[in-house]
Amino acid sequence: MRIWILLAAGIALLSPAAATAEADDERIARITGLPTEIQNGVVRVSVARSDLHAEVDGVAMAPFQGFTSWAAFQRVGDRTMLMGDIVATEREADAALGAAIESGLEVTALHNHFFFEKPRVFFLHVAGMGSVEQLASGVKATLDAVKAAGQAAHQDGFGGPVVPSPSRLEPAALDTILGLHGVSKDGMVKFVVGRSAQMHGTAVGAAMGVNTWAAFSGAPEAAVVDGDFAMLEPELQAVLKALHRGGIHVVAIHNHMTGEEPRFIFLHYWGRGSATELARVLKTALDTQGP
């Protein structure tokens, strides 16, 4: 009798978690339109990218070998936590990042997992904390954006005005917008904003690579800007949103260091258009950061 009582008590303790997982499973499947599986109370959906016909170093790769998009949902109290990884080609990655941001997901990394792969593939890592409906809808929107971009007419670039060469930019107008002093060379202008960190008990800054920078080239009416934002972890999402909504493309999000205090995330970007408009977008992004 005592054994049955203990078993019944154990079942009673497990039942709420099991019921929650099952309820979430049904909603996630309905919203995403994908089959689900439950692993230890975590609900997962996945999309095998068999359409890529991927090769790495001349070897044909199956989705099982790392070419599968996935998202995992786990209950935390009365909210749900999301983690996921979206497989996207070079043509699809920008659309996926935009959809994730606009649907309220956090984008936590964008980088490669392979060398010598065909086609070129990137991995967009997403996260979030909220309701099942909001997070599952965000995952669906991101996956739908990948599919739509993959089916769109082929493009070999982001588009934008033809940028003249050689460059003929002057720093004055950009200095005024950014509130910084740029360095000019051969008609190009570069700005560097140092940040501070500690590495192995030693203070490091801009000269050691802890910096945000922007390099402008081209002409005032048709320019490109490329660069890197150094961000504390809490600053990442605001910088991402400012750049994306201003039309500047984020092309990588990753770390450059390990063991630094505080921890810094680095974001690489590319923009094309009027030099002053590009500078205004960068200024908006810079203003979201602390000192």
Beta bridge partners of 265: 231
Q: What are the tens digits of pLDDT across the range 112-170?
A: 999 999 999 999 999 999 999 999 999 999 999 999 999 988 788 899 999 999 999 99
As a whole number of angstroms, the distance between CA 274 and CA 272 comes to 7
pLDDT of residue 14: 45
For the whole model, what pTM was predicted? 0.91
Q: What are the tens digits of pLDDT across the range 172-213?
A: 999 999 999 999 999 999 999 999 999 999 999 999 999 999
As a whole number of angstroms, the distance between CA 271 and CA 246 comes to 9
172 burial (CB, 10 Å; 0-12 / 13-18 / 19+) is exposed
Q: Which fold has domain 171-287?
A: Alpha-Beta Plaits (3.30.70)
Q: Indicate whether 12 pLDDT > 60.
A: no
- What is the CB-side half-sphere exposure of residue 45 using CA atoms within 13 A? 23
pLDDT of residue 104: 97
Q: Where are the domains of the chain?
A: 2-151, 171-287
User: Of 70, 97, 83, 81, whose CA–CA distance to 132 is shortest?
Assistant: 81
Q: What are the tens digits of pLDDT across the range 243-286?
A: 999 999 999 999 999 999 999 999 999 999 999 999 999 999 99
Q: What are the tens digits of pLDDT across the range 33-81?
A: 999 999 999 999 999 999 999 999 999 999 999 999 999 999 999 999 9
Q: Indicate whether 9 pLDDT > 70.
A: no
Q: How close are the terminal C-alpha atoms of the chain, in Å?
A: 66
**Per-residue pLDDT band at 16 (split at 50, 70, 90):** low
Tokens describing residue 235: 């600053």
DSSP 8-state class, residue 290: -
Q: What CATH architecture applies to the domain 2-151?
A: 2-Layer Sandwich (3.30)
Please report, for residues 76, 79, 226, 253, the alpha-carbon distance to residue 190 in angstroms, rounded to integers and kept in the order given.
Answer: 45, 45, 10, 21
Handedness of CA 108, 110, 112, 118 (dihedral sign): positive
**Per-residue pLDDT band at 20 (split at 50, 70, 90):** low
Same fold, 2-151 and 171-287: no
Cα 151 to its chain centre, rounded Å, is 21
